[in-house]
Structure 1
């Protein structure tokens, strides 16, 4: 029997966040099989698990826990995307030499860490990706969601089941106001450098009956080499998808395309423990929609507008869990039940150092039964 204790997160006043839990009385460096069974079940039930005081966990054990959700998977979740100079992911991640499935992310200069030397980490800042930006003189007080996404290559490799994040070094004290800047007036008070999560299950539940039927029976086709394809495009101010301005790379500008690697996935993915459906779409990588009647929506602007309309209600401030990182926090999240975003803008002297791991799965996500039968 495992002695692990799992305590649901206590939502802040006014919050409607209904997921997440804190896990105590466990040492990730020395997990038993019974411990893992409890962790696995609770990940699917709670979507985000926070393990405090895990600074001692090695990259090897981080990888082993992440891989345990799909032992047949062994490659980093984004595959070779990091090697592509044009990829929007390229500047943001550094690979640990002795554990290549684990990445280092953060902000500021790090002289040495886990075999890496003289590393300049760059926290993704919205000014590099959004069509409009917050003025420089407001940068330390205000921020935005950088890019709402699923951790996934979405080309060739199946989306990872889980992602792990370990907070090694966390700047303290400052908070920021996250602005949506989309005409709604929505804002969210956030800790500096938070990771923001919203539930795909809640995203599905918030839809009308008509829209629920649409997402249950529609599949999303993702662009080939999506993170290279989107490299010239700019994001909406709420971080939820891209504007359509003709900035995407043409087929001739992309690496060679293997048609069998293009992914057409259900819009809804089924939770393997609860059976609930989550609306799981990476809004920046979408290219086409395949409807139940065989119609294909190919107009990129129309595709993006439809996806944004479906997803936007669930990123309203009251539904966002913005984790307040403490050094030693080890966070495990269900990558097939959530979307998440980097948030925040750091001063040059504020150093943030995190480790991230996700593993490409050996199988594609399960969709609703009618969609699976039609595939």
Structure 2
């Protein structure tokens, strides 16, 4: 039967097996009560009533005493299941010794009666269909020995017991595989999200600096141009590294620390206070006169996405380019638009830039909004500039505390 199978808990301590263990524990008690009542009804058939009552007492003490053991997959080991099965087989064989021979020949029920089914189902929940089939065969052989023959009644009961045990065992096997698949998918999702977060942080920090050094150094010439060339090479290499990392989500999730964990990510934050430092002589900010409240983590991510959009304006349009930020506080969402006066671009260029490892749009902007349950739309036409529209739903942010906590642990 092998060792005890590994159980998988998805999203915490819950496992699909746990309710089944509770059901098995309750089924053992109910079938015990049925066995006692059935024996009391046919007590006059037995030639050794005292021996039969002693067995029923032992079976009762064992069943009631191990309720908590069979209540959980952590406590019910194979040893407990084997002892339970042995006690059932003993009761079946004692029926032939204690019951009158003509009643045995007439098909009288055994002492454990349907209590035997709980032993088979226990093996099914524990190890799947194969251990269940083994236990069912053992009980079936004991029933044939007790009856002294294999008749249609015995065969009918044995087949039903085997079918029930194997069917439930097969379902358990499928449930375990499904749990393992789901757990693996959640691990991959978490690792991918963490990679995307790190990619955004690198883009907003290191890559922007390298890009600035490369651009300014080339303008200055001389030794600065050499430094600019090196910075440009490092920028390209780092972009390739980030892009390759994002395309391979099967590795372990990298760790990360941040100062945002010191603040409750669900604390209301006025978005205006985060956007105000972004405005200057080249960036105009239009926003409501009242507070625009979002959870702390969501407001910070939205402000960072706006900052990334402005970085793109300075990089692709020019340092002196004019840009406009418009904040709209709608009943169900917050909308922030960033518009520039640049020449515009072909929208197909976004997918091409992502393939080249340029993640300013895919991660620093769209990735952030996707994590918030929102969206980022780009509108551009030749000679008419570019507008980025960022939407964050309010209901999701206020109703998803756990999501905010994950973002706050950066």
TM-score range, shorter chain: under 0.3
Larger radius of gyration: 2
Structure with bigger RCO (C-alpha 8 Å, 6+ apart): 1
Q: Which has the higher helix share?
A: 2
TM-score by length of 2: 0.24
Q: Which has the higher strand share?
A: 1
